[in-house]
Chains A and B, each alone.
Chain A
Amino acid sequence: MPLTDETDQTDRTRRFAALSTRLTGFDTVDLAATGLVEAYLTVAAGELGAELLGRLLRETPDPAKAPADGEREPDGDADASDDELRSASRALTYLWYTGSWPGRPSRPLSPRSYAEALVWKAAGLTAPAARPGGYGSWAEGSGR
């Protein structure tokens, strides 16, 4: 593989990891530890298309300015593009937190996606059936 491609790929992965960190609140070390950064980059490219993913990697809208559903402002072209980015950001955040792409039925992409879903880590827990804490561990308050 030519060096430039590899550099591009690495750079794209790095930008994807940085984007994922902004969206999830987990740092790049935590995300790398899941072993899923490359896999999710591939999923995102497949689900969003190269063009939208490229825009997302370049210009993530500021989440702090994102209106919640039901608080929308009047639409315009700029808004439509923003909406597209916002919806892509949400889907990607959901992927990291649950291991599945939004939409029903919700199925984790792989056993690893299931076990590494950030929703459990956010609460200091582990996914059911993934890494049990041992007899009586349910008496304790938080994750190991």
Chain B
Amino acid sequence: MTRYDVIVVGAGVAGSLVAHRLGKHGRRVLVLEAGAGDAGARDPAADPLAAFLRATARTPHPAAPWPVMTDLAGTDATPGYRAAGHLRQDGPLPYASGYVRANGGTGNVWTGLAPRMLPEDFDTETFGYGRRWPLTYDDLEPHYRAAEEHLGVAADVEEQRAHLGLRFPEGHVFPMRPLPAARLDRVFAERLDGRRVKDPVALGEVELKVVGTPHARNGVPDPRYDGGRGYVPRGRDGRPDPHSRCVGNASCIPHCPSYAKYTPLKTQGRWSASVALRDRCVVSRVLVDGAGRATGVEYRGYDGAVSVAHADVVVLAAHAVENARLLLLSGLAGRSGQVGRNLMDHPVLLTWGLLPEGERAGPYRGPGSVSGFEGFRAGPARRLRAPFRVEFGTWGWVWAKGPVDTDVWHLIAERGLSGAELRRTLGDRLQRQFTLQFEMEQGADPANRVTLHPTERDALGLPLPLVTYDLDEHVKEGMAAARAVSDQIFALLGAQDHTDYAPAAAWPGRFEHRGRTYGYRGAGHAAGTHVMGDSAAGSVVDSWQRCWDHPRSVRGRLRQHAVGGHLQPDADHGRPRAAQRRAHRGGTGLPRPPVVRRRPSPRTRRPFHGHGSVPRPSE
């Protein structure tokens, strides 16, 4: 069959959810995925460890390449980086995040944190930067709830109310009780709760308070959920599994062997029979008729063979970079001049060190981060610097320095240790390691953009994406404030600071600001490139994600925002994922279904956490 009601481009979080919702209403949906269908984690015969090791080793296919951390290397020249892979770059600073072209997309390798955005995030113009959303927190709130049910979120509603100022309906609880705090969180709470730190940029003080982060991973169901009907966790392939729990594999990136972490593969497991997935299909063009209405897509197999499929509606859900690339390849949605612009991420300032002698951080025993500090996200300080979340990194120094092998080599080769002394020193060092991850909000800036590379082509002959990216003063000031906060936290803890943005090769994202050197990674929270707004003149899509220029046809995926705010309901600062879940708003041109309630990232690499050099995944 080549005729469908809807074609969805991309089988990641947004695409899988849109297809799920449409399939439930009996629509015939074709989902075209550029990557391989088997993400290496679905072989029923595979034992968990083998599946993890296979996921760790997964690499892009030449016909559907994606940026991996080795594509980006720091240099001593200007600019201080080199981008040699699928994602070419020519900006002053590197866009430091990757993404995955495989079934399930980047959502396979996310950390699994699902915080909401704050009400004030939807209008940062009030603070003098970014762009106002054509939506408010209250518009989105029911959809947050629907998304939290679908993903299966564990969190404490009272804590979210009290420490983030989030509004919830009376009596609402999350599907699952909050996850137990990590040992590191308890050490921090004991030493830091109630202490005040100075923000030298905003000239204010912030009281520290350890707050649990909402997690899209299974915990203990809350019997009060849904008016006392409770909640049944979902395990492998989204099947109901009352006993599914996070068991502390500490390998969420790249793979959760216990299937406690949400991935799009869980949504796909719930698809109706009217939804079909076709993998290894790289969409190269969206087809439109004379009136500008989408009629289908042209796509290519890995052998280069060209096919066409037709549909009434085309949904683009191929990630911020690839969506923009596809619109540009198709010559569509060009009226506002905004396609490809306003590319955003959460640039992350990392600081890392060792707890005092005799203290244990308890690393590598659970999720990569369980809790954080939320006190730097809101308020008038945003006028002067980017707001940020502080995540407590519980996997040692992996994001900053690479896997533990680097510690082993350092002690053996550089310090000449062996035998009992090596064993003791290494054990002590590992147990005391922790990382602070300051995830910066980045406002919409039209200069940060995706274009088509003028000369370079991929294996199928399509122009490679070219990114031009920079961090503005607002973000750099946010990092300056974050580093000052970090210095005070280390002092309060009596911890040894090992932060050092060297060697240059390991820190492609590096800059000087007011005499101090900063290094950043990318959180993998790509956003922007088809900005949402109130009018066709200044935006690509409306608040329902409908493309202004191609009414009721091409839609951007639900992860685009007219942001200025942390456009991330899902990640660290709230990552984009929850916004994607606005699939529940039915950005499909179809009658909007009512939101029916109650049915329903060792060798730990975090490539999409932008681990540039790490010998990596995005949230």
Contact = CB atoms under 8 A, between A and B. Distances in A.
Interface of A: 22-26, 63, 66-71, 89-90, 93-94, 97-98, 100, 102, 104-108, 111, 114-115, 118-120, 122-125, 127-130, 132-142
A94 B414 contact: no
A24 B423 contact: yes
A75 B421 CA distance: 27
B251 A128 contact: yes
A114 B362 contact: no
B552 interface: no
Interface of B: 48-50, 52-53, 57, 179-183, 186, 219-220, 245-251, 255, 257-258, 360, 362-367, 370, 394-395, 403-405, 407-409, 412-424, 426-428, 430-431, 602-604, 615
B365 A140 contact: yes
A24 B427 CA distance: 12
Q: State the 3 A-B residue pairs at the shortest beta-carbon distance, nearest first.
A: A138-B366, A128-B602, A25-B423
Contacts of B251: 128-129
Contact of A135 (B245, B414, B604): B245
Given A100-B405, A129-B250, A142-B431, A136 B180 contact: yes
A141 B362 contact: yes
A120 B441 CA distance: 35
Given A106-B615, A138-B182, A139-B181, A98 B418 contact: no
A135 B615 contact: no
Contact of A22 (B246, B415, B419): B419
A125 B57 contact: no
A114 B413 contact: no
B426 A129 contact: no
Given A25-B423, A128-B250, A94 B412 contact: yes
Contacts of A122: 422-424, 426-427, 430
A138 B370 contact: yes
Contact of A68 (B53, B416, B427): B416
Given A25-B422, A119-B408, A137-B247, A125 B403 contact: no
Contacts of A141: 183, 360, 362
A22 B423 CA distance: 11
Contacts, number: 171
A69 B367 CA distance: 36
Contacts of A89: 418
Contacts of B431: 123-125, 142
Contact of A129 (B52, B57, B220, B415): B52
24 contacts: A25-B424, A63-B416, A94-B405, A94-B408, A97-B412, A104-B615, A106-B615, A119-B405, A120-B404, A122-B422, A122-B430, A123-B430, A128-B250, A129-B52, A129-B249, A129-B250, A135-B245, A135-B247, A135-B248, A138-B182, A138-B394, A139-B182, A139-B183, A141-B362
A122 B364 CA distance: 13
Given A24-B423, A122-B426, A135-B246, 14 more contacts: A25-B418, A26-B423, A68-B413, A69-B413, A94-B412, A97-B412, A108-B53, A119-B426, A123-B426, A127-B602, A132-B249, A138-B248, A138-B367, A142-B431
A140 B362 contact: yes
B314 to A, nearest CB: 38
B394 A132 contact: no
Contacts of B367: 138
B156 to A, nearest CB: 15
A97 B426 CA distance: 10
B247 A133 contact: yes
| Interface core residue of B57, B408, B423, B430 (most chain A CB under 10 Å) | B408
